[in-house]
Amino acid sequence: MTKHDIEVTRRGVLATGAATAAVLAVQAAYAQPIVPLASLPSAKVSLVVNGHNEDLTLDTRTTLLDALREHLHLTGTKKGCDHGQCGACTVMVNGRRINSCLTLAVMHQGDKVTTIEGLGTPEQLHPMQAAFIKHDGYQCGYCTPGQICSAVAVLAEIKADIPSHVTGDLLPHASFSADEVRERMSGNICRCGAYSNILDAITEVSGETA
């Protein structure tokens, strides 16, 4: 072994040691203290979900979406973006649709929540579920529970004369039209692009022609 070989080896050892020390320092800097579960802020909340009373003790930061999916195992409601941008998490609360990813469960004490599991059963589908199947209103199906919950709410909104951005005459009513449906369903994104078939399904259930 030459003197040069010994020098290279010594440098290699020093470099390896320095790198290891740097990694350990970074790990120490970013290591999070382990917080005992019992010390997390929690609260009791009672919901009526699909007609059943549910009493939960939740981390107060739990969204309604996570309470439904992770705590009540109602996985029909989907998490798409978790940022209020896709509509996959749409459920009805006290008869009005909301994005369940944008609201905390503890804000809904005593509220009545309806998810896709509460609209119909495989044996007895809700008319909107049946119409989506008949008109092929989905491909992958990931957005479909949110689409159906929204579609049911849209027909109720039109029936209740609640105007939308495209309603021409605010006095006194909103009437069914393809434009009304498109506008009101615009918060429900379908990456598969099943929009025209979704419109057909909603139109059939409305009993009118768009």
| Pick 150 or 167: Cβ nearer ligand FES | 150
Only segment of 40-48, 66-74, 149-157, 188-196 that touches ligand FES (CB under 6 A) = 188-196
Q: Which is nearest to 181 in space by CA: 107, 128, 108, 121?
A: 128
Q: Which of 69, 79, 97, 126 binds ligand FES (CB under 6 A)?
A: 79
Please report whether residue 195 would count as binding ligand FES according to CB under 6 A: no
Q: Which of 50, 62, 131, 138 binds ligand FES (CB under 6 A)?
A: 138
**Residues in Cβ contact with 7 at an 8 Å cutoff, skipping those fewer than 6 apart:** none
Q: How far is the CB of 197 from ligand FES (least distance, A)?
A: 10
Instruction: Give the whole-angstrom CA distance, residue 115 versus residue 46.
Output: 16
**What six digits make up the tokens of 47?**
């919901």
Residue 94's φ and ψ, nearest 5 degrees, are 50, 40
| Pick 118 or 137: Cβ nearer ligand FES | 137
| Pick 163 or 187: Cβ nearer ligand FES | 187
Q: How far is the CB of 146 from ligand FES (least distance, A)?
A: 8
**Residues in Cβ contact with 129 at an 8 Å cutoff, skipping those fewer than 6 apart:** 119, 120, 148
Instruction: Give the whole-angstrom CA distance, residue 199 versus residue 134.
Output: 12
Please report whether residue 177 would count as binding ligand FES according to CB under 6 A: no
Residues 135 and 127: beta-carbon distance below 8 Å: no
Residues that bind ligand FES (CB under 6 A): 79-82, 84-89, 99, 101, 138-144, 190-192, 194
